[in-house]
């Protein structure tokens, strides 16, 4: 049966460890000349514009010997010009896999249910699994471990936080987060992730005060306050998030060797200062690079058909 990757919740700890094992090998050059996607075509259905997600998947497919076909929202008009079910059925006859970057998560779910080929979520309004997996991989790379690490997330309770909660819970990373009132993560996702965390003796904790979330953290993570599709809310969000900027004072509450994380793109001077983003503690470019390696591992498993030995 074909497998889809729509949320980190679709994975087990063993699955993630296998993805990380492959990604480490790929990054170090293991199997550099292998072409597990040779003769395969992968469609990229992107309703939202993209820099890292598009580049990392297109380059990844190419490096693995496959062919990537990029389709914008205007090209497909998913669910408008043609039903999502029909798009999925037709593309299943042409392609070997689909990377979907949709506004609504339910559209990615419908696409996956209707397709006869693997569907990988490149971003939706509720989840960003490839980003979170790359982030946790980067933490493991930097600290040499994941257990007993504490990741602090400050900002909007968005798709990135949803996926980070699941990834942290599964991999034994303590997650402390702080969001303004009214911008909390979805309660059902938070409750579900917390249940997983409890089973793994890991903490997922909410703090009203961002300083309490950042205190003694090994890594501090933030994201834009206004994402694509929320531009009309920009002025209100700037006011509501004012106390949640990652600056020297707030970052100083973390451990001395703490690292700064951001999934990019960054709105410099809003959610984070230039000094920190460009400073020695920033690992944001490492996060961006690791999207390529982790996603190549995902492509090999889901579309290349590689299984654990």
Residues with a catalytic annotation lie at 101, 128, 131, 223, 263, 291
Residue with tokens 């914008």: 72
Residue 208 CA, distance from chain mean position: 24
**How far is residue 183's CA from residue 178's CA, in Å, rounded to a whole number?**
10
Strands of 146-271 (E only): list them. 150-154, 174-178, 204-206, 219-222, 259-262
291: closest CA among 172, 150, 144, 129?
Answer: 129
How would you label 144-183 residue by residue, b for 16+ Cβ within 10 Å and e otherwise? eebeebbbbbbbbbbbbbbbbbbbbbbbbbbbbbbbbeeb
* Residue 72 phi, psi dihedral angles, 5° rounding: -85, 170
Q: Are 152 and 254 in contact (CB under 8 A)?
A: yes
Say which residues have a Cβ less than 8 Å from residue 289's Cβ, sequence separation at least 6.
Answer: none
């Amino acid at each position: 049966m074909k497998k889809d990757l729509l949320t980190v919740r679709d994975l087990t700890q063993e699955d993630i460890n296998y993805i990380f094992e492959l990604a480490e090998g790929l990054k170090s050059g293991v199997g550099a000349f292998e072409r597990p996607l040779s003769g395969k075509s992968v469609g990229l259905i992107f309703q939202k514009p993209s820099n890292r997600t598009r580049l990392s998947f297109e380059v990844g497919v190419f490096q693995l010997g496959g062919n990537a076909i990029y389709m914008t929202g205007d090209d497909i008009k998913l669910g408008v010009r043609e039903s999502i079910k029909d798009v999925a059925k037709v593309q299943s006859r042409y392609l070997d896999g689909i990377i979907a970057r949709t506004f609504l998560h339910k559209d990615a779910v419908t696409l996956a249910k209707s397709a006869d080929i693997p569907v990988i979520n490149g971003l939706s309004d509720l989840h960003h699994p490839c980003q979170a997996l790359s982030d946790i991989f980067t933490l493991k790379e930097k600290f040499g471990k994941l257990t007993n690490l504490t990741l602090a997330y400050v900002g909007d309770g968005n798709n990135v936080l949803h996926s980070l909660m699941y990834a942290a819970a599964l991999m034994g990373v303590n997650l402390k987060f702080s969001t303004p009132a009214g911008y909390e993560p979805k309660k059902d996702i938070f409750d579900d992730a917390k249940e997983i965390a409890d089973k793994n003796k890991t903490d997922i904790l909410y703090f009203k005060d961002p300083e309490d979330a950042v205190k003694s953290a090994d890594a501090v993570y933030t994201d834009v306050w206004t994402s694509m599709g929320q531009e009309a809310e920009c002025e209100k969000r700037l006011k509501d998030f004012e106390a949640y900027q990652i600056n020297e004072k707030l970052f100083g509450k973390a451990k001395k060797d703490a690292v700064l994380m951001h999934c990019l793109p960054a709105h410099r001077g809003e959610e984070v200062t230039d000094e920190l983003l460009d400073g020695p503690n920033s690992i944001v470019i490492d996060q961006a690079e690791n999207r390529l390696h982790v996603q190549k591992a995902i492509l090999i498993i889901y579309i290349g058909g590689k299984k654990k030995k």
